Amino acid sequence: SAAEKGGYEYFMLKEIVEQPQAVADTLLGRVGVDGTLTLDEMRLAPSELRDIEKIVIIACGTSYHAGLIAKYAIEHWCRIPCEVEVASEFRYRDPILNRQTMVIAISQSGESMDTLMAVRYAREQRARVLAICNVNGSTIPRESDGVLYTHAGPEVGVAATKTFLTQLVACYLVGLYLAQARNLKFGDEINAVIEQLANMPQQVEKVLGTVGPVRELAKSLADSGTVLFLGRHVGYPVALEGALKLKELAYMHAEAFAAGELKHGPIALIEDGLPVVVVVPSREGRGVLHDKIVSNIQEIRARGARTIVIAEEGDDTVRPFADELIEIPAVPTLLQPVVSTIPMQVFACELALAKGNDVDQPRNLAKSVTVE
């Protein structure tokens, strides 16, 4: 009903706007004033946390993209090797798991059959399974050793929006918690990141206040045959997520590449007027990658691409090469996906609406996929 949609025409629009609150709710009660994290729901004793030798993340679709981002954060903060795999591939390739492996199953619904089967397989192999989930009491958390709920509130639109942002926050919490529990030497960096993480609801709010121009831009692209997405580092999974959203909602061909791979083939696709969305890494800490992507933007623009650039506010180096510039707040590199994903969501949603599609119920899709 209209009341359930809070005055919005579609649940998806409402769920995009709810993201600052959703992110705040994921953090609620988990970050102490002194920066100490409390994640008792992980149900792992400190000794067990210290024993973990490998992390394997399994998930599907958008949740898989959250897992890809988590890998960058967890390996950097915890120095624990971390693999990420789509759940449907996992148990069919004889993966190496044991008691010292922590498997993180990310699933909004907690009911994706592919992920559930992977969880069962992992437990049979004696791995410890932690679920990151949004639906209380759903099957995957019930069958896992521990669960971290995202508390995003019900998500009705088939496209994951607020649950993706909150999955990222939950993954960051796990990574930072493991780093704290394992007493790693770069405590200062960890504490600084925790402080910034606690500030993310405000940053998300800020992005929502500035995405207006993305709507107009999206409408102008409704007739494009294809849209490409480029990113690097944590921006690469964000590009993958941008492309998935466009396929799912606007039924358009979209593809994402790691920007460094462009020269190994995909650059041949660039032709006059082709829209290319580029996620520019934050300047903090990853200066080299930032500059490399700026030259990628120059290269594709010289070949006729229409460049749609998502970059930190005040990043003047990209301005001359951006046909369209979408500014996001400056946040630490590893947290950037929390803000850079939002323009992608709005872009896909508006493009779909411009094409007259039902964004809450895209064709051929179900909110949770309960078959393998």
Calculate ∠ Cα 175-152-25, nearest 5°.
70
With respect to ligand AGP, which residue has the nearer C-beta, 109 or 180? 109
Cβ neighbours, 10 Å, residue 100: 13
Secondary structure percentages of the chain, helix, strand, coil, to 5: 50, 15, 35
By CB under 6 A, residue 112 contacts ligand AGP: yes
Site string for ligand AGP, 334-363 (x = CB under 6 A): ------------------------------
Q: Is 367 among the residues known to form the active site?
A: yes
By CB under 6 A, residue 160 contacts ligand AGP: yes
Residue 168 CB, nearest approach to ligand AGP (Å): 13
By CB under 6 A, residue 252 contacts ligand AGP: no
133: helix, coil or strand? strand
By beta carbon distance, the residue nearest ligand AGP is 61
By CB under 6 A, residue 248 contacts ligand AGP: yes
By CB under 6 A, residue 170 contacts ligand AGP: no
- Residue 215 burial class via C-beta count within 10 angstroms: exposed 0-12, middle 13-18, buried 19 and up: middle
With respect to ligand AGP, which residue has the nearer C-beta, 63 or 307? 63
Cβ neighbours, 10 Å, residue 74: 27
Q: Find the DSSP H helices in 81-233.
A: 87-90, 113-124, 139-142, 162-181, 187-198, 200-210, 212-220
Among 22, 52, 55, 61, binds ligand AGP (CB under 6 A): 61
Handedness of CA 52, 56, 62, 65 (dihedral sign): positive
Radius of gyration of the chain, Cα coordinates, nearest whole angstrom: 20
Using CA atoms of 284, 195, 79, 37 in order, give the dihedral in degrees to the nearest 10: -170
Q: Could you tell me which stretch among 56-64, 185-193, 253-261, 330-338 binds ligand AGP (CB under 6 A)?
A: 56-64
With respect to ligand AGP, which residue has the nearer C-beta, 107 or 180? 107
Cβ neighbours, 10 Å, residue 104: 27
Among 56, 102, 119, 158, binds ligand AGP (CB under 6 A): 158
By CB under 6 A, residue 63 contacts ligand AGP: yes
By CB under 6 A, residue 296 contacts ligand AGP: no
With respect to ligand AGP, which residue has the nearer C-beta, 140 or 331? 140
With respect to ligand AGP, which residue has the nearer C-beta, 210 or 368? 368
Quick one: which of 286, 282, 281 has its CA closest to 259?
281
Residue 115 CB, nearest approach to ligand AGP (Å): 5
Site string for ligand AGP, 78-107 (x = CB under 6 A): -----------------------------x
Number of residues binding to ligand AGP, judged by CB under 6 A: 15
Among 73, 82, 97, 159, binds ligand AGP (CB under 6 A): 159
Among 26, 88, 101, 108, binds ligand AGP (CB under 6 A): 108
- Residue 321 burial class via C-beta count within 10 angstroms: exposed 0-12, middle 13-18, buried 19 and up: buried
**CA-to-CA distance for 306 and 301, rounded, in angstroms?**
7
Parallel, antiparallel or unpaired: strands 275-279 and 306-312: parallel
With respect to ligand AGP, which residue has the nearer C-beta, 138 or 307? 138
By CB under 6 A, residue 139 contacts ligand AGP: no
With respect to ligand AGP, which residue has the nearer C-beta, 45 or 366? 366
- Residue 308 burial class via C-beta count within 10 angstroms: exposed 0-12, middle 13-18, buried 19 and up: buried
Binding site for ligand AGP (CB under 6 A): 60-63, 107-109, 112, 115, 158-160, 248, 368-369
Residue positions annotated with a catalytic role: 367
